[in-house]
Structure 1
């Protein structure tokens, strides 16, 4: 009897290990198939998302992937309604993120895109953003509030938005033509065209734009979501500093 009681903790430990192993095997079976639905904001689609998606698809080829592109508020709506399993979002746009579980991916650096012939083109070090206080700006909105140009407001000047251009590739064309300068987040820096130059914005204590994978609060992410988040972190870690 005494020997039996002494054996109980060992049996419970073994049972616990077997239970954990069964859960891991079940998770592997789940990620081997099924569906992943995610949304991402546009500049995340420029670098980390395609790299992560390529890695994820090679590891889990049987998972059906549905991807949507949209601004952070729109893809958060898709997450809230259950239309999406994961939303890749940024802190730009002043979207309310406190209602979601956030999985940190990266803190972005900012760059100023200038024409190749600009006096500062090729400048080796970071430049203060207020160096461009008198410049014409190209932005996706006529107002800087809730956009990347919030960084200019924090530096004490209100940028003059001369051209409202939503698409990043089109913004590059406007910059290359000498019509203004534009702010570029780090994920888009990989896809810059050769006739413009990127200048690193000097970090003067302003908060970096953070990028998160958001999931619905109260719902445990299923294995495919966790696997894709891991691929996103790997892609973010490989991005140039």
Structure 2
């Protein structure tokens, strides 16, 4: 009902007790102040000021509106300050998404450095599949995401841009008692009779594993669809299958498993940062920290044969 400029004018007139002094404060003419106050009083349904021989003062209706005007203007001022801090990358909330293995060491290390550089920015961390994270970026529900083209290609989303962050080698996890566990580097063809533990690809699309097996001249004998890494590690440790493990996940590999490299058919996935069309400065800062982060992919539990 009442415009912000009208409320500012009301407060200025009340503070100065004069249309003339309010005009000076707000860089208006005295006649413009008189017209605007008259318009405001018409909107309010009656007079807001007592006209005195020298100046004006608020009447009861004016006091009531003045109280609300001060509250509104103070809230707007706080909002402007908060937005300025957010746009400067020094405050507010940063919503960060990442796929599961990126949250083992890569993203936490970058967030630790980010909190040191931007201590007043609140971090909200969200874990999910890359396709889900890309969609949430497009919907405005995330400010930055770390996504991957594993297992079935890099997803896309309208208005979202991606940049390569790193190339991540994929190892094969075998139980320590496996006949090939001590080989160090093995040929993918040597695993043609193994059951493979992997996520279920979206829409039944080919995966890095099925593509690599096809190039090696065979089809996986059996694929056991397990989404969580803890489940994959548990099945592999029990000797129920073998799994591709990205180097980002090596910190989490249990001692019962050994990681072997693949030879000529070595597989790698690409990890990307993803941003909306108009990224926040804080998101750009985190992107830079992710780029500059030291290589934390070789964890103490890597267990390379």
Q: Place the TM-score, normalised by the shorter chain, in its bin.
A: 0.7 to 0.9
Are residues 1:84 and 2:142 paired?
Answer: yes
Inter-CA distance 116–205: structure 2 relative to 1 (3 Å threshold): closer
Inter-CA distance 156–50: structure 2 relative to 1 (3 Å threshold): farther
Which of 172, 183, 187 is the matching residue for 1:112? Answer: 172
Tell me the equivalent position of 1:14.
none
Separation in structure 1 between the aligned mates of residue 237 and residue 225 of structure 2, nearest angstrom: 15
Q: RCO (CA 8 Å, sep 6+): is it higher in 1 or 2? A: 1
Given that 1:141 and 1:147 are in contact with CA atoms closer than 8 Å, whether structure 2 keeps it comes out as: no
Tell me the equivalent position of 2:99.
41
Given that 2:89 and 2:281 are in contact with CA atoms closer than 8 Å, whether structure 1 keeps it comes out as: yes
Tell me the equivalent position of 2:234.
173
Separation in structure 2 between the aligned mates of residue 97 and residue 155 of structure 1, nearest angstrom: 29
Inter-CA distance 91–54: structure 2 relative to 1 (3 Å threshold): same
Given that 1:114 and 1:121 are in contact with CA atoms closer than 8 Å, whether structure 2 keeps it comes out as: yes
Tell me the equivalent position of 2:80.
none
Q: Displacement of 1:57 after TM fit?
A: 1.7
Are residues 1:56 and 2:117 paired?
Answer: no
Are residues 1:186 and 2:247 paired?
Answer: yes
Q: Could you give the per-residue CA deviations for residues 132-162 of structure 1, whole angstroms, max 9, x where no partner exists? A: 1111111222897444424333433221335
SS at match of 2:193: coil
Tell me the equivalent position of 2:161.
101
Separation in structure 1 between the aligned mates of residue 266 and residue 254 of structure 2, nearest angstrom: 29
Inter-CA distance 225–142: structure 2 relative to 1 (3 Å threshold): closer
Given that 1:105 and 1:213 are in contact with CA atoms closer than 8 Å, whether structure 2 keeps it comes out as: yes
Name the larger-Rg structure: 2
Are residues 1:161 and 2:232 paired?
Answer: no
How many residues are aligned here? 212
Given that 1:139 and 1:161 are in contact with CA atoms closer than 8 Å, whether structure 2 keeps it comes out as: no
Q: Displacement of 1:177 after TM fit?
A: 0.6
What stretches of structure 1 of length at least 5 have no aligned partner? 1-25
Separation in structure 1 between the aligned mates of residue 148 and residue 255 of structure 2, nearest angstrom: 27
Q: Could you give the per-residue CA deviations for residues 96-142 of structure 1, whole angstroms, max 9, x where no partner exists? A: 33853212210110100000111221323x32222211111112228
Separation in structure 1 between the aligned mates of residue 141 and residue 86 of structure 2, nearest angstrom: 24
Are residues 1:30 and 2:88 paired?
Answer: yes
Which of 226, 231, 234 is the matching residue for 2:284? Answer: 226
Given that 1:114 and 1:196 are in contact with CA atoms closer than 8 Å, whether structure 2 keeps it comes out as: yes
What stretches of structure 2 of length at least 5 have no aligned partner? 1-83, 300-305
Inter-CA distance 175–204: structure 2 relative to 1 (3 Å threshold): closer
Q: Displacement of 1:28 after TM fit?
A: 10
* TM-score for the superposition, normalised by structure 2: 0.62
Given that 2:105 and 2:296 are in contact with CA atoms closer than 8 Å, whether structure 1 keeps it comes out as: no
